[in-house]
Structure 1
Amino acid sequence: MNVRPIFLLSLLTAFLLPRTGSAQELSAEVRQSIGNLLNATAQKEISVGRIRIDSVATEGRTLQLFANMNCAYIPFREKNVAEIYKGVSALLPAAFAKYKVQIRTNNHSIEELIPRALRSKKEKRASTFNPAVSVPLVTDVSTPYTPTHGLQNRHIALWQSHGWYYEPKLTRWEWQRARIFQTVEDLYTQSYVLPFLVPMLENAGAYVLLPRERDCQTAEVVIDNDGCLGNRSTYTEHNADKAWTQGDGEGFAHLRNQYIDFENPFKEGTFRTIETIRKGKESTAEWIPEIPADGRYAVYVSYQTLPNSTDDALYTVHHKGGVTQFKVNQRMGGGTWIYLGTFGFSAGQDNACKVTLSNRSAKAGRTVTADAVKIGGGMGNIARRPSVMPQADYPYETSGYPRFCEGARYWLQWAGMPDSVYSESHGKNDYTDDYKCRGIWVNYLAGGSSVNPKEKGLNIPVNMAFAFHSDAGTTLNDSIIGTLGIYCTKGEKFANGTSRYLSHDLTDLVQSNIVHDIRTLYEPNWSRRGKWNQSYYEARVPQVPTMLLELLSHQNFADMRYGLDPRFRFTVSRAIYKGMLQFLCSQYNMDYVVQPLPVERLSLRMTGEREVELTWSPVADPLEPTATAEKYIVYTRIGDGDFDNGTPVDKNSYRTTLPADVVCSYKVVAVNKGGKSFPSEVLSAGYATNAQGTVLVVNGFDRISAPADFTIAATDSTSLAGFLDDLDHGVPYLRDISYIGKMKEFRRSIPWMDDDASGFGDSYGNYETQVIAGNTFDYPAVHGKAILKAGYSFVSCSLSGLSPDPSPAGRGEVTPLNEYRYVDLILGKQCQSKMGRGGVTALEFKTFSKETQEAITAYCKQGGNIFVSGAYVGSDLWDNRLAKAEDADKKFAMEVLKYKWRVGQAATTGKATSVASPFTAFTGNYSFHNELNPDTYVVESPDAIEPASEGAHTIMRYTENNLSAGVAYSGDYKTCIMGFPFESIRTEAERDALMKAILSFFNPQ
Structure 2
Amino acid sequence: MHSGALSGKTVYLSPGHGFYRSAPLARWATQRPNTNDVVEDLVSAETLNQYLLPMLMGAGAVVVPLREPDLNRRMAIVNNGDPGYAEVGDASLFGTSPVPGWGPPSSPMANNVEPFKLGGSRWMTAASQATASASWVPDLPEEGARYVYVAYTADPSRVPDAHFVVRHAGGESHFRINQRRHGGTWVMLGRFYFKKGQDPAKGAVVALNDSTSQGSVSLDAVRFGGGTGFIGDTEMGPLPRPRYEECARYHTQFSGAPAAVFAPSGANRLSNERNDDVTARSRFAAWDHEEGEDAVYVAWHTNASGTGTAYGTEGYVYGPNPVDGTLNFTGVPGSDVMAQALLDELDHDLKARVDPNWRTRKLRSAYFGEVNPAHNPEMPSVLLEVAYHDSVQDAVHLREADFRRVAARALLQGLIKYFAQRDGTPVHLPPEPPTAVVARNKAGGVEVRWEPPSTDSDDVGGHAATAYRVYQSEDGLGWDEGQETAGTTFTLELPVGTTRYFRVAALNAGGESFPSDAVGVRTGAAPPVLIVNAFDRLDASMNLTEDLTPYDLGSPVRVLLEAMNDGSSVRRHGAAVARHAVAFDSATNEAFASGLAEFTGYSLVDWFTGRGGVKGAPPTRMEQDALRAFVSGGGHLLFSGSHAASQLLAGGVEDQAFLADILRASVESGTSSLLVEGQPTQWLASATHLMLDDGTLGGLAVGSPDVLAPAGGGTSVLRYAGTELSAGVASAPGGQVLFLGVPLEGIVSPWRREYVLGTFLARTGLLAVAPAPPGDEPSPPDPGPANQWTAATGNDPRPPDPTPPPYVVDGVPDFYDAADTGCGCGTGGGPVFMAWLSLLVTVQLQRARRRGAHSSR
Q: TM-score, normalised by structure 2?
A: 0.84
Q: Does 1:483 align with 2:323?
A: no
Equivalent in 652, 665, 677 of residue 501 of structure 2: 665
1:838-896 CA-partner distances (Å, limit 9, x unpaired): xxxxxxx41221121111122122221111011112111224xxxxx422211121123
Alignment of 1:19-38 (within 5 A): none
2:578: which partner in 1? 788
Listed as ranges, the matches of 1:759-770 within 5 Å are 762=552, 765=554
Contact 2:536 2:612 in 1 (8 A): yes
Mapping for residues 352-751 of structure 1, pairs under 5 Å: 352=201, 353-364=203-214, 366-384=215-233, 395-426=235-266, 427-428=268-269, 429-446=272-289, 449-450=291-292, 461-476=293-308, 481-488=311-318, 500-541=332-373, 542-543=376-377, 544-608=379-443, 610-624=445-459, 627-639=463-475, 642-687=478-523, 694-707=528-541, 730=542, 741-742=546-547
Aligned to 1:316: 165
Higher mean alpha-carbon deviation, 417-426 vs 888-897, is at: 888-897
* C-alpha distance in 1 between matches for 2:242 and 2:260: 25
Output one character per residue of 1:475-504: Cα deviation in whole Å (capped at 9) or x when no partner. Answer: 455xx701010012569xxxxxx9835211
* 8 Å contact kept, 2:253–2:262: yes
Aligned pairs for 1:796-815 within 5 A: 796-803=586-593, 811=594, 813-815=595-597
What secondary structure sits across from 1:515 in the alignment?
helix
**Count, aligned residues:** 751
Q: Tell me the secondary structure at the aligned position of residue 530 of structure 1.
A: coil
When residues 603 and 328 of structure 1 are mapped into structure 2, their CA distance, relative to the original with a 3 A threshold, is same
Distance 2:545 2:712 in 1: 46
Contact 2:301–2:385, Cα closer than 8 Å, also in 1: yes
Higher relative contact order (CA 8 A, sep 6+): 2
Deviations, residues 181-224 of structure 1 (Å, cap 9, x unaligned): 44411111112101110111100100000121111111111111
- From the superposition, tell whether residues 338 and 871 of structure 1 become closer, same or farther in structure 2 (CA, over 3 Å): same
**1:830 matches 2:612:** yes
- Contact preservation (8 Å) 2:9, 2:295: yes
2:795 matched to which residue of 1? none
What one-letter code is carried by the residue in structure 2 that aligns with 1:651?
G
Q: 2:629 aligns with which of 838, 841, 858?
A: 858
Query: In the alignment, is the contact (CA less than 8 A) between 2:522 and 2:585 conserved in 1?
Result: yes
Change in CA separation of 1:332 and 1:165 when aligned onto 2, cut-off 3 Å: same
> Shift in Å at residue 557 of structure 1?
1.8
Deviations 1:117-154 (A, max 9, x none): xxxxxxxxxxxxxxxxxxxxxxx3xx6xx33xx01011
Once the two structures are superposed, residues 27-83 of structure 1 have per-residue CA deviations (whole angstroms, 9 ceiling, x without a partner) of: xxxxxxxxxxxxxxxxxxxxxxxxxxxxxxxxxxxxxxxxxxxxxxxxxxxxxxxxx
> Which of the residues 638, 653, 667 maps onto 1:887?
653
Q: Is the alpha carbon distance of 1:219 and 1:411 closer, same or farther for their aligned partners in structure 2, counting shifts above 3 Å?
A: same
Deviations 1:363-393 (A, max 9, x none): 12x2321111111111111114xxxxxxxxx
Contact preservation (8 Å) 1:922, 1:997: no
Deviation at 1:613, TM superposition (A): 3.7
Give CA-to-partner distance per residue, 1:882-932, whole Å, 9 cap, x none. xxx4222111211233222223x6312432323424xx4664224232534
Larger Rg, first or second structure (1 or 2): 1
**1:934-983: CA deviations, max 9, x gaps?**
52222231112222223x21112222331121111124322111111111
Partner Cα distance (2:315, 2:584) in 1: 51
Counterpart in the other structure of 2:757: 995
Aligned counterparts of 1:962 and 1:407: Cα–Cα separation in 2: 49
CA distance in 2, matches of 1:490, 1:767: 36
What does 1:873-884 correspond to in 2, within 5 Å?
Answer: 873-879=644-650
One-letter amino acid matched to 2:343: Q
Identity %: 26
* CA deviation after TM superposition for structure 1 residue 255, in Å: 4.0
1:869 aligns with 2:634: no
2:632–2:733 contact (8 Å) kept in structure 1 = no
1:265 aligns with 2:36: no
Does the 8 Å contact 2:441/2:527 carry over to 1?
Answer: no
Q: Name the CA distance, whole Å, in 1 between partners of 2:10 and 2:433.
A: 25
Corresponding residue number in structure 1 for 2:47? 192
What is the DSSP-based 3-state SS (H/G/I as helix, E as strand, rest coil) of the residue aligned with 1:990? helix
Cα distance in 2 between the residues matched to 1:926 and 1:983: 15
1:225 aligned partner: 80
Which residue is 2:182 aligned to? 333
What is the alpha-carbon distance in structure 2 between the residues aligned to residue 974 and residue 848 of structure 1? Answer: 20
Give the equivalent residue in structure 2 for 1:912.
677
In structure 2, the CA distance between the partners of 1:246 and 1:930, relative to structure 1 (3 Å rule), is closer
Cα distance in structure 1, aligned partners of 2:217 and 2:297: 30
Shift of 1:622: 3.4
Amino acid of the residue matched to residue 443 of structure 1? A
Task: Return the alpha-carbon distance in structure 2 between the equivalents of residues 743 and 927 of structure 1.
Answer: 29
Change (3 A) 1:913 1:896: closer
8 Å contact from structure 1 (residues 163, 176) kept in 2: yes
For the residue of structure 1 that corresponds to 2:436, the secondary structure is strand
Q: How far off its partner does 1:170 sit?
A: 2.8
Find the partner of 1:816 among 592, 598, 615. 598
| 1:949-988 superposed matches below 5 A | 949-950=712-713, 952-988=714-750
Please say if 1:933 is aligned against 2:699. Answer: no
How far apart, CA to CA, are the structure 1 residues paired with 2:618 and 2:318? Answer: 50
What are the residue-to-residue correspondences of 1:60-99 with 2, within 5 Å? none
SS in 2 for 1:966: strand
Specify whether residues 766 and 608 from structure 1 end up closer, same or farther in structure 2 by C-alpha distance, changes over 3 A only. Answer: closer
Residues 648 and 656, structure 2, Cα contact 8 Å, conserved in 1: yes
Unpaired runs of 5+ in structure 2?
Answer: 322-329, 769-857
Q: Which amino acid aligns with 2:289?
A: A
Q: Distance in 2 between matches of 1:362 and 1:257?
A: 41
Task: Indicate conservation of the 8 Å contact 1:490/1:535, yes or no.
Answer: yes
Aligned residue among 40, 51, 66 for 1:211: 66
| Structure 2: distance between partners of 1:971 and 1:355 | 56
Distance change (3 Å), C-alpha of 1:929 and 1:818: same
Q: 1:556-609: per-residue Cα shift (whole Å, max 9, x none)?
A: 221121111111111110000011111122232221200000111111222225
Q: CA deviation at 1:776?
A: 2.0
Q: In the alignment, what sits opposite 1:79?
A: none
Structure 1 CA distance, aligned partners of 2:58 and 2:448? 26
- TM-score of the superposition, structure 1-length normalised? 0.72
Give the direction of change, closer, same or farther, for the CA distance of 1:922–1:650 in structure 2 (3 Å limit). farther
Q: Alignment partner of 2:99: what SS?
A: coil
Q: Hey, what does 2:144 align to over in structure 1?
A: 295
Q: Which amino acid aligns with 1:872?
A: H
Identify the residue that residue 619 of structure 2 maps to in structure 1: 848
Q: Write the letter of the residue equivalent to 2:534.
A: G
User: In 2, are the aligned partners of 1:157 and 1:462 still within 8 Å (CA)?
Assistant: no
**Offset from partner CA, 1:223-255 (integer Å, 9 cap, x none):** 11243xxxxx51111234951111122222114
Q: For residues 160-182 of structure 1, what are the alpha-carbon distances to aligned partners after superposition, in whole Å with 9 as ceiling and x for unaligned?
A: 01111011233221111102344
Decide whether the 8 Å contact of 2:331 with 2:372 is kept in 1.
Answer: no
